[in-house]
Amino acid sequence: MQYMVLGRSPGNDHQPSLSNSGGYKMNTRLMTASQTAQILNISKPRLYDLVKRGIVPHVRLGRQVRFDKGQIEDWISRGGTPLKIKYPSKHDGGREVTINDTAPLKEGSN
């Protein structure tokens, strides 16, 4: 099992970095739900609904939900392409399903 550790990269006082037990570091900026909802021009409840349904990329830190700015920008550039998620099933051990809901990127869908 690998754990992500939030820390600072050497010589960079402003940008947090994530490192795992493999030793590589990745600069990232995690945003709150309020910041992400503002960027997507949707309400926070709508954003949490999209998180619950596995549509928008997110990171869980305990009970908190955060959003990687780079992943959100990539997701937007792909047109809000839904993520593939696996639903548990009694018969086949789970099946991969693509959710086709790009509503968060359409105007007036708060």
Which pLDDT does position 95 carry in this prediction? 54
Same-domain pairing of 23 and 70: no
Same-domain pairing of 37 and 65: yes
What global pTM score does this model have?
Answer: 0.52
Does residue 66 or residue 22 have the better pLDDT?
66
Same-domain pairing of 40 and 77: yes
Q: What is the pLDDT of residues 9-18, one digit of tens each?
A: 444 444 444 4
pLDDT band per the 50, 70, 90 thresholds, residue 26: low
Does residue 107 sit within a domain? no
How far is C-alpha 72 from the chain's CA centre? 7
Same-domain pairing of 40 and 25: no
Q: What is the pLDDT of residues 43-75, one digit of tens each?
A: 999 999 999 988 999 999 899 999 999 999 999
Domain membership of residue 5 as a residue range: 1-30
List, in order, residues 6 or more apart from 88 with CB less than 8 Å away: 94
Does residue 110 sit within a domain? no
Which pLDDT does position 110 carry in this prediction? 45
Residue 19: CB atoms within 10 A of its CB come to 15
Count how many domains the chain has: 2
Does residue 108 sit within a domain? no
